[in-house]
A and B are shown apart, each in its own frame.
Chain A
Amino acid sequence: MSEARELTLEEREASIGGIGTARKRKEDARFIRGQGNYVDDIKLPGMLHGDFVRSAHAHALIKSISTEAALEVPGVLAVVTAKDLEPLGLHWMPTLAGDKAAVLADKKVHFQNQEIAFVVATDRYAAMDGVQKVEVEYEALPPLIDPTTALDDDAPIIRDDVASNDEVGQGPRHHPNHIFEWNVGDKEATDAAFAAAEITIREKIAYPRCHPSPLETCGCVASMDATNGKLTVYGTFQAPHVVRTVVSLITSLAESNIRIVSPDIGGGFGNKVGAYPGYICAAAASIVTGHPVKWIESRIDNLSTTAFARDYHMVGELAADKDGKILAVRAEVLADHGAFNTHAQPMKWPAGLFNILTGSYDIPVGHVSVNGVYTNKAPGGVAYRCSFRVTEAAYLIERLVDVLAQQTEVDKAEIRLRNFVQPAQFPYKSCLGWEYDSGDYPTALKKVMAAVDYAGLRKEQAAKRAAGELMGIGVSTFTEIVGAGPVRNCDIVGLGMFDSCEIRVHPTGSVIARLGTKSQGQGHETTFAQIIATELGIPSDNIVIEEGDTDTAPYGLGTYGSRSTPVAGAAAARAARKIREKAKQIAAHVLEVSEQDLEWEVDRFKVAGSDVSMTMKAIAMAAYSNVPEGLEHGLETAAYYDPPNFTYPFGAYICVVDIDRFTGDVKVRRFYALDDCGTRINPMVIDGQIHGGLAEAFAIAMGQEIIYDETGNILGASLMDYFLPSAVETPTWETDFTVTPCPHHPIGAKGIGESPNVGGVPAFSNAIIDAFAHHGVRHMSMPHTQSKVWQTLNELGLNK
C-alpha cells in the first residue's frame, strides 16, 4: 500500500467548496424527490381546518352575521367572529407600520374579500361548506377607490376607528384618510435650483398595484398543547422570530412558550413578511378547540387580501443644464396603502428607503415628499422582491433620466455616463441622506455597451426608424440600498435589525450552524455553508445550515430586503472568525508554540517557517479533549451583527425590443444584465437569482396589475387574469458582472436577490418607450400589455 499523496494547496482549497465556488445546492436533494416539507404538507393528529367568510363589499357596515346554518353543516365545529375574538383582545392586531388592522371585520368591512368569520371544521371541504352557509347582512357605504380623491373634503371616511386620531403611528396627519406625510431633502434649495435651471422636466409616473404571488400561498398550522401551555405555529413566515415576539406581545403567552417554525417556503418575494388574520384565527381556534388548526390561503385569497406591492403615484422632476448634467431632483408621491397601514418596513421609514431616488447619479440637491392614504382596497404594501420602496425609487429616477435625455437630445447611455457618481467619490453622501459604500458605475455601463455593441444597436435603430419599424433600446443603471439594517436607524416593533449566526463545531470536525434568517428558495443551506467553509477551512459538505425554528435558531429579523447575505452572512463570517480565534489558542497549546507563531492556511494553522501544522479537523477534536488551562471546552459560538451601513449593489442593464406596429406585440430580442453585488459567494446561485428576478421584472413591466373597478370589486384575482409569465413569454437572459467589494462587510458581499427586479423593470419600460421616442413619446404607463402598446400605436397612427 502506498501512502496517500499529500494534497496541494490548490487541491485543499478546492476541497473546501467555499466562497466563489459554483457549488450545487444542498437543498435540492429533497425537492427533486418531492420530499420538501411545506406548510400544507404538515399533518398533525386531530388537526382541524379553517376557512374564511369574506366580504362581498369594499365598504359596508355589517348589520348582522348569522352562523346557525353553518354550525348545522356536518363537520363544522365553530364559527369565529370579531365578537368572539374581542374578549381575547385579538379582533384587531398591531401592524408593522404602527397602525392596527382588523383580524375579523369589526362592525364594518373596509375592502372586498376582507375576513369576516373563520369557520373551523374537520376537513377543508367541510370548512368551505360552512363558509357558504354563513349569512352576512350589509349596509353598503360609498367606497373610496381612487387614492387621488382620498383627501377630498367630501371623501368617504374609511377608518371610523381612528377618524379623530391626530396620528396613526407615523406622525401628524391632516385628514381622516391621511396616514402620514414624509419629507426628506432640502426643499428650499431644491426649489431654487429648479427656478434657476436651463432645463427642467416633469413627468407623472405611476407604479401600479401588483402582487408578489409566490407559487405557494400563505398558510399555517397552529397547535396549542394544553398540557404544557405551549403554542407552536408552523407557517409561511419570512421572519419567524419577529412573529414570535409579536404573538407574545399581543397575547399573554410567555415568549418561551411560543414556538414559530418556518418549514420549507415556496417563494416569498415579500408576501410572507406580514402577519395575517389567518395566522391569528388559526392560533385562537387552536387555543379554544384544543386541536391543531390549519389555514391555507386559496390563490384568490392570496391575490386579493395578503400583501399587495407598489401602488405609488409619483410626479418626478429633474433640473439640468443643456448638456444634460442633472442639478436637482424633486418628487411628490401619493402612496395608496389600502384600508390598513400594513406597510412592511423598518418602523422609522414610512416610505421605506425611497430616498435612494438619487440612484447612481451625482445630484447636488433634492427633495422628496410622500403622502400615504387609506382607500377601500386590500392593505399593504410590501416590498415585492426589493428593499423597501427601492423599486419605486429606481423606476422613477431611471425613467426621469430617459425623459431628460430626450429633452436634451443627449444619448440615453451618454447622459448616464455624464451624471454618474464617480469611483473616486466613494464613500458618497447623497443629497437625500445616504452614504453609498462603494461602486464603479462607468466601468459597468461601458462593459455592457461593449458587450451588446451599443453604437451598432443605435445605428440599426436609426435604420429601422427610417423604414417605419419600431425597435427600442432600454438602458437602466440602477443602485439599490439593501441589507436593513443598522440598528441606529432600523427597527421593527423596537427590535433592532441585526442578524445572527450560531456555529457548533463537532469533535469530528463537522459543523451545524443556525441563523436568524429564513430561505424561501435563495439557497441559504448551500451559500451560508460556503462562507463558513472558507472561514473555518471545513468542507462545506460537512456543514449543515438550519433556519426557521425559533426554539433552536438564534434571534434574527428574517429574510427580505436582500438582508440575508449583508447581515446574517456577515454574522456567519464573524462567528466563524471567533471560532477560529479559539481554535488558534488550542492549536498553539497542542503544538506547544506561541499563538504569534501560527499562521492560517486554508484549513489549518501552520507554524510559520516550518512544516508543522494542525488541521481544523484535528483542532476540533482537541477542543473536546485537550484545551489549555483556563480555556473552556467545546468549539461553538454565536455572533450578532449590527451592520455599520446598508450595502449598495448596482448594475447596468440593456434591453432590446422589437415591436410589431400592427399588433403591439413586444418581442424582447436581447436582455443583457451586469450586476455588481460585491464579493460573489456562489456564481451559480447568483445567476439563478438574477434570472428569477429578471423574470419577475418582466412580469411586472409587461402585465402584472391588481385592478379594482369603481365600486371596489377586485378584477382578476386568479391566475386566469393575473399575469405570471410562462416559459414561452419569458425572454432568455445574458448575465455579466463586475466585483466592487463592500468595504464594511466582513467578506465584502452586498446581496443580489432583488437587484434584477429593481433594475429590470425600468430596463423593460425604457426599451418600450424608447421605441416610440422619435414620435415624441416620453412616457407610457405600466404594465405594457399588448393592448396598451397597441393603443399607443393607434393613437400615433403607426398601425395604419
Chain B
Amino acid sequence: MSSQKISLTINGEAVEAEVEARTLLIHFLREQRNLTGPHIGCETSHCGACTVDLNGKSVKSCTIFAVQADGGELLTVEGLANGAELHPLQEGFYESHGLQCGYCTPGMLTRAYRLLQENPDPSDDEIRIGISGNLCRCTGYQNIVKAVRYAADKINQAEGAD
C-alpha cells in the first residue's frame, strides 16, 4: 500500500505522520494517535459518533481519508477542555444529564461546539436541527438540548460580562 506523509494540527499540537492512502481519518485518530474519544457507530456518515472539527467545520471522520486532513486544523473531544477546566458544553452535559452510555457523547459535544460558533444563541428547535446529524439511542435528546442550551447561556453570560 502506498503511504503518504501528512502534517496537521490536532488539538493545538503540530503532528506529522505517515498514513496509508486509504486510511480513514477516524482510524488514523483512534489507532495511530490514540485519540479514542471519537467513536465508530455506522461507517456511513449517519450516526455522527465519529464527529470531529476540521478547519472550522463538523466532519464525520469515518468517511474521509486521513490524507484529506493534511494541512488542517483538527479538534477532537479530547481538545475541548482547558486542562482541568471543562468546556461549558462538557459541564452542560454533566449538569443536565445529557448522556447515558456515553458512546455518542464525544461526537455530540464536538458537533455542539461548532453549532454554538455558527449560532451562539440557538432556540431549542435550532439546537435539534443543529445536532440532527448525531444520533443518540439513550437520552431521547431532551436533556442534550438542555445541555447545549446550558452551555450557550453560560458562554453568552461570560461574554456579556467581559
Contacts and interface: CB of A to CB of B under 8 A. Distances in A.
Contact of B44 (A264, A266, A719): A719
Contact of A125 (B20, B97, B136): B20
Given A216-B101, A264-B102, A33 B77 contact: yes
A521 B22 contact: no
A696 interface: yes
Interface string A667-700: 0000000000000000011011111111110000
B90 A32 contact: yes
Given A32-B93, A215-B101, A685-B97, A691 B47 contact: no
Contacts of B127: 727
Given A34-B36, A34-B38, A215-B135, A266 B97 contact: no
Interface in B115-162: 127-129, 131-145
Nearest to A699: B137
Contacts of A696: 137
A693 B141 CA distance: 11
B103 to A, nearest CB: 3
A33 B78 contact: yes
B5 interface: no
Given A27-B102, A214-B101, A719 B36 contact: no
Interface string A13-56: 00000000000110111111111101011010000000000000
B61 interface: no
Contacts of A217: 41
A215 B41 contact: yes
A423 B51 CA distance: 51
Given A215-B41, A718-B44, A31 B20 contact: no
Kindly name the residue among B22, B31, B99 whose own CB sees the greatest number of chain A CB atoms within 10 A: B99
B139 A719 contact: no
Contacts of B59: none
A24 B101 contact: no
Nearest to A124: B27
Interface stretch (A145-153, A490-498, A654-662, A728-736): A728-736
Interface string A263-303: 01111010000000000000000000000000010110000
Given A28-B94, A32-B99, A216-B103, A695 B44 contact: no
Chain B: interface residue count, which band? 35 or more
Given A691-B143, A727-B132, A727-B144, A34 B35 contact: yes
A31 B142 contact: no
Contacts of B81: 33
Contacts of B95: 24
A527 interface: no
Given A32-B99, A214-B101, A719-B42, A688 B109 contact: no
Kindly name the residue among B35, B49, B101 whose own CB sees the greatest number of chain A CB atoms within 10 A: B101
Contacts of B22: 125
Contacts of A688: 97, 100, 138-139, 143
Contact of B103 (A125, A267, A726, A727): A267
Contacts of A213: 137
Nearest to A695: B140
B77 A692 contact: no
Nearest to B130: A727
Given A33-B81, A299-B42, A28 B99 contact: yes
B46 interface: yes
Contacts, number: 174
A659 B27 CA distance: 44
A417 interface: no
B104 interface: yes
A724 interface: yes
Contacts of B31: 43
Contacts of B41: 215-217, 266, 299
Given A24-B95, A33-B78, A299-B44, A216 B100 contact: no
Nearest to B38: A34
Contacts of A24: 94-95, 97
A44 B101 CA distance: 24
A725 B46 CA distance: 11
Interface in A490-538: 520-523
A262 to B, nearest CB: 12
Nearest to A264: B102
Contacts of B105: 31-32, 34, 36
A215 B49 contact: yes
B57 to A, nearest CB: 19
A176 B96 CA distance: 54
Interface string A206-246: 00000001111100000000000000000000000000000
Contacts of B35: 34
Nearest to B87: A32
Contacts of B136: 215, 727
A720 interface: yes
A693 B142 CA distance: 12
Contacts of B37: 33-35
Kindly name the residue among B109, B127, B139 whose own CB sees the greatest number of chain A CB atoms within 10 A: B139
B137 A269 contact: yes
Given A214-B137, A267-B137, A719-B44, A31 B99 contact: yes
A55 B132 CA distance: 34
A40 B139 contact: no
A217 B39 CA distance: 11
B16 interface: no
A684 B97 contact: yes
Contacts of A269: 137
Contact of A521 (B42, B49, B102, B134): B102
A267 B140 contact: no
A520 B90 contact: no
B101 A34 contact: no
B58 interface: no
A35 B106 CA distance: 9
B47 A724 contact: yes
A564 to B, nearest CB: 14
A25 B34 CA distance: 26
Kindly name the residue among A216, A217, A689 whose own CB sees the greatest number of chain B CB atoms within 10 A: A216
Contacts of A264: 101-102
Given A719-B44, A728-B128, A32 B109 contact: yes
B39 A38 contact: yes
B66 interface: no
B15 interface: no
Contacts of B106: 34
Nearest to B141: A727
A733 B103 CA distance: 22
A598 B9 CA distance: 65
Interface in A172-230: 213-217
Contacts of A28: 93-94, 99, 102
A41 B143 contact: no
A32 B94 contact: yes
Interface in A708-763: 718-720, 724-728, 730, 732-733
Nearest to B22: A125
Given A31-B102, A34-B38, A726 B137 contact: no
Given A520-B101, A521-B100, A266 B139 contact: no
Given A521-B102, A688-B143, A695-B139, 14 more contacts: A30-B102, A32-B94, A33-B78, A33-B81, A34-B77, A215-B41, A216-B103, A692-B139, A695-B137, A718-B46, A724-B47, A726-B131, A727-B141, A728-B129
Interface of A: 24-25, 27-36, 38, 40-41, 43, 124-125, 213-217, 264-267, 269, 296, 298-299, 520-523, 684-685, 687-696, 718-720, 724-728, 730, 732-733
26 contacts: A24-B95, A32-B86, A32-B105, A33-B90, A34-B78, A35-B37, A36-B102, A43-B31, A266-B102, A267-B101, A521-B100, A521-B102, A691-B140, A695-B141, A719-B44, A720-B46, A724-B46, A724-B137, A725-B135, A726-B131, A727-B129, A727-B131, A727-B134, A728-B128, A728-B132, A730-B140
- Interchain residue pairs A-B with the least CB separation, the first 5: A34-B37, A521-B101, A266-B103, A31-B102, A691-B140
